[in-house]
Amino acid sequence: MIKFFLMVNKQGQTRLSRYYEHVEINKRTMLEAEVIKNCLSRSKDQCSFIEYKDFKLVYRQYAALFVVVGINETENEMAVYELIHNFVEVLDKYFSRVIMFNLDRVHIILDEMVLNGCIVETNRNRILAPLFVLDKVAES
């Protein structure tokens, strides 16, 4: 099961966070700082899977953006690694350039892909269908 999903820039600033288990706000801040420090300090030659406390971290770097997913021990690391890549491809397909001004749309995309910590959809067209409907309604 996925515990959390983070998008972080190279400066260590969290750009998006979604938690699928209850974590108090002050603990989230500490958790994010530790997770970001662990991922940013690794070289490109090192594995993208990290054992951390009672869960695993799976991360990928895209230019100046890191996508980090915290999972429990039963989740398949490679499946989550591919989920991250699929998520970034969906973002790339929907947004022409800047995504940080459209975080509501990014949350919709993530919600279409992951529900209560479980991967529910990977088909790009089905993930983007609700957004295209919203876009058509907004144009009207």
Supply the range of the domain harboring residue 18.
Answer: 1-137
Overall domain count for the chain: 1
Across the strands, what pairs with 118? 115
Backbone phi and psi for residue 86, each to the nearest 5 degrees, phi listed first: -60, -40
pLDDT in tens, 86-99: 999 999 889 876 56
The pTM score is 0.91
Closest CA to 129 of 83, 137, 82, 15: 137
Provide the pLDDT confidence category of residue 108 given band limits of 50, 70 and 90.
very high
Contact call for residues 124 and 88 (beta carbons, < 8 A): no
| Long-range Cβ contacts of 99-107 (<8 Å, 24+ apart) | 100/15, 103/15, 103/16, 105/131, 106/7, 106/16, 107/16, 107/18
Q: Give the CATH number, domain containing residue 24.
A: 3.30.450.60
pLDDT in tens, 12-55: 899 999 999 999 999 999 999 999 999 989 988 899 999 998 99
